[in-house]
Amino acid sequence: MQASSSSSSRHRLGIVMLAVGALLLWIASRLPWVTVTAFDDKAGDVTRVLSGGAWATELTGVALGLTAACVALLVVRPAAKRVVALFSAILAGWISWRPMSMLVAGADPQRAKDLLVHGLATQKTTDPQLLNAWADLQTVETHQLGPVVALLGAAAALVGAVVCSRQPRTPAVVTDRFEQRSAEQTVLDDLAQAPDSPRLMWDALDHDVDPTTVHTSDEQSNTAPRNP
């Protein structure tokens, strides 16, 4: 039972790390990643900002996917939990390349211009991030915070997925009949000594033992036959 409790704790920790990774990826998608300064002969000097969600549209999708994986790990059967954890690990590993490439190589000026020219960087209609095709790029500045947050989110999700795959939250299943009876007897003995313990009551239910039928040690001594 102690091993099962430890396994459940590790599994919950893995789900929490997955959730934290999803949250960090979502935050990174809202942070500014690239600032473009350009000169337009009609509008003059213009400055446009590309958020993480605009530069890497897959960030939001992966964040939602990891959130769904957290929910699935709480409700699916044990055999399916490894599949969900493996899928989450693949997502986390795949999404890490975008912020990593940004930190190593910086922003691609041509990609930044294409996103702005085609309006793909606009996330709010009230704040359009547009650029004319004939505009000349002056500077392309890369912000480090957004990619770093995204990389941390991917790392947290990857570690959480590995923990969940190695420690699936499964109840302790005793296949051997003798071990099953021994475990049930241990629960009965513990419950007889402490019948009001909530933890022992749950342990009894886990082993298909009705805690209301267990007699305490005092009741057993009172009902024991006495020698004349």
Q: Does residue 204 have a pLDDT over 70?
A: no
DSSP-derived secondary structure letter, 41:
T
pTM of the model: 0.68
212 or 168, greater pLDDT = 212
Give the residue with greater pLDDT, 20 vs 189.
20
Domain ranges of the chain: 2-166, 177-220
Residues 55, 126, 153, 85, CA torsion sign: negative
Q: Determine what percent of the chain is predicted with pLDDT higher than 90.
A: 39
| Residue 223 pLDDT > 70 | no
pLDDT at 224: 45
Q: How many CB atoms lie within 10 A of CB 51?
A: 20
Distance in angstroms (rounded) separating the CA atoms of residues 69 and 76: 10
Q: Two tokens at 189?
A: 């003995």
- Mean pLDDT estimate for the chain: 79
Range picked from 4-13, 47-56, 175-184, 211-220 for highest mean pLDDT: 47-56
The DSSP bridge partners found for residue 136 are: 39
Higher pLDDT, 164 or 128: 164
